Chain A
């Protein structure tokens, strides 16, 4: 960016995304928030904020299910654990939930695998359509990165969400989507040849790819998806005696560093 660009930016901030004309109206991606978008449910508005697109009722049901089915109110799950610790340390609701949401942008679960899963399915779908052999793509991916995002799951042998999600996708008519079918084909190949299971990230990514989301849009969509599971953990933490949850005595620290020494 040139100095002139900065000087121009200093004068005004041009945007098509929206503006609040306080005391008058609010424009939200080209529509009047209260008059044109006022009958939407919040979830639909959130999707509109990301893609600028309107979704059908069944698409909204499917996308809503993606969030719902991964809302686990269990404080052993890392983002929830943080939320419960925050509540029990008597932090605030917003700080607790935002810290849980922030650490959901993780590498072994959450947003980075989400993003890579949708990208992988999109690029693989394109390559297969152009004549590439799926098995060769998968073996190359495993050889290079040792992982196919959306397949395999830390801590668990199977992903219970898979069955529910496939059932819901069939009910709502999304099971025939090309990325969805590809995700299942990848699963069958990896189960047979590499004994790898599938986790719900593959199916969620496939469903959103079939609805035309880019990886960026998909990550934005998925960002709050754990939050309904975090709230009960916060409540649990805040209602238990302060400083009491997951108590750990000094001797529970498993130390393997250097011996005692003097400064």
Chain B
């Protein structure tokens, strides 16, 4: 057996088929037989929770994760990551490319994955302490070193372009709070107006999602990954729809682009002289 290049993991192990050491006869996730036990007994969200946390969720935790997933499944065709996927789909790009573009655009810190990542560290620091939140939201990232991520331009979890808290955000917060065992979502519900008054902008879906992830006791990496994953179904569905609708029905922004620094004008090469 050559296992000098094997991966170390606490998540997964396999038992091989008797006729092929490269094919798994049984696969175990955190000790549970995936195809012999989990498949017939667990829900997808129980399995997801197990995968990231290492333990089965309580019924309320599973319901909280599922409700959050429902809220994030599709943010609609105006949402930047969904638009990115649609731009892939309309041109007939590979399915993976559409999802990769959704992930890339949806990874950012304006409504995206990295905003959730920053919020998770704030939840770790501030917990249910309103005073700390009011202080930290204005300067949320302690490490000021140069980075691939820009400094935050707005209070994370709040919409820099919002006017008032949108109804779906409030509905999601309220729906999630029913299953919260840690009080994070109730805390957010109760303090929302104070936080909004302090930041000057309304609570956003990233703020609600991060609170739910913290209530589920997920770490920042797991929360960010799940936030990215759970928004992909909408991106996929809209990308497929635009693929079928075709480019003639898709907005082309050419006339919308207003150039402020033009170049000198030149004549095109003469087509006739080129024999064209």
A residues neighboring B (CB under 8 Å): 1, 3, 6, 12-16, 18-20, 22, 24-25, 27-32, 34-36, 91-92, 94-95, 98-99, 102, 105, 111-112, 115-116, 118-120, 145, 215, 219, 246-263
Q: What residue of chain B has the Cβ atom nearest to residue A218's Cβ?
A: B146
| B56–A12 CB distance below 8 A | no
- Compute how far the CA of A251 lies from the CA of B13 in the bound complex, rounded to whole angstroms: 8
Contacts of B7 in A (CB 8 A): 248, 252-254
Q: Could you give, for residues 1-38 of chain B, a 1 whenever the CB lies within 8 Å of some chain A CB and a 0 otherwise?
A: 11101111111111110000111100010111100011
Can you sample 5 A-B contacts with CB below 8 Å? A31-B263, A35-B266, A257-B11, A257-B54, A263-B32
Known A-B contacts A27-B263, A30-B262, A95-B100; the reply to A253 vs B9 at CB < 8 A is: yes
Q: Are B21 and A3 in contact, with the CB atoms below 8 A?
A: no
Knowing A14-B260, A116-B147 are in contact, say whether A20-B254 is a contact too (CB < 8 A). Answer: yes
User: Which residues does chain A contribute within 8 Å of B148, judged by CB atoms?
Assistant: 105, 111-112, 115, 219
Given contacts A3-B161, A31-B263, A248-B22, 10 further A-B contacts (CB under 8 A): A13-B253, A13-B257, A16-B260, A16-B261, A27-B259, A30-B261, A99-B100, A116-B145, A120-B146, A260-B31
The answer to whether B30 touches A257, judged by C-beta atoms less than 8 angstroms apart, is yes
Establish whether residues A6 and B161, one from each chain, have CB atoms under 8 Å apart when the complex forms. yes
Give the distance to chain B from A10, nearest Cβ to Cβ, in Å: 9
Query: Given the complex, which residues of A lie within 8 Å of B262, measured CB to CB?
Result: 27, 30
For A31, list chain B residues within 8 Å (CB). 263
Residue of B nearest to A107 (CB): B148
CB-nearest residue of chain A to B2: A252
> In the bound complex, how far is the Cα of B221 from the Cα of A223, in angstroms?
24
Give, as a whole number of angstroms, the nearest-CB distance from A222 to chain B. 11
Q: Determine if B265 is an interface residue (Cβ-Cβ < 8 Å).
A: yes
A192–B1 CA distance with the chains assembled, in angstroms: 44
Interface residue B264 (Cβ < 8 Å from any Cβ of A): yes
Q: How far is the CA of A146 from the CA of B59 in the complex (A)?
A: 43
Is B276 an interface residue, CB under 8 A from the partner? Answer: no
Q: Could you tell me the dominant secondary structure of chain A's interface residues?
A: mixed
Query: Is there an interface contact between A254 and B31, defined as CB atoms closer than 8 Å?
Result: no
Tell me whether A24 and B94 are in contact in the complex, defined as CB-CB below 8 angstroms, given that A14-B258, A255-B9 are known contacts: no
Contact partners of B38 in chain A: CB under 8 A: 263
A259 neighbours in B (Cβ, 8 Å): 31
Measured CB to CB, the residues of B under 8 A from A are: 1-3, 5-16, 21-24, 28, 30-33, 37-38, 41-42, 54, 56, 94, 96-97, 100, 104, 145-148, 160-161, 163, 253-254, 256-266, 268
Question: Across the interface, which residues of B come within 8 angstroms of A29, CB to CB?
Answer: 261
B28 to A: closest C-beta gap in Å: 6
Q: Which of A15, A119, A261 contacts B31 (CB 8 A)?
A: A261
Q: How far is the CA of A257 from the CA of B51 in the complex (A)?
A: 12
- Cβ of A253 and Cβ of B13 under 8 Å apart? yes
Q: Which residues of A contact B31 (CB under 8 A)?
A: 257-261
Q: Say yes or no: B261 contacts A262, CB within 8 Å.
A: no
B residues in contact with A247, CB < 8 Å: 22
Q: How far is the CB of B198 from chain A (nearest CB, A)?
A: 19
Q: Tell whether A254 pairs with B268 under 8 Å between CB atoms, given A13-B256, A27-B259.
A: no
Complex-state Cα separation, A92 to B88, whole angstroms: 15
Question: B9 to chain A: which residues have CB within 8 Å?
Answer: 253-257
Does A257 lie within 8 Å of B259, measured CB to CB?
no
CB-CB < 8 A to B256: which residues of A? 12-13
Bound-state CA distance A99–B257 (Å) is 30
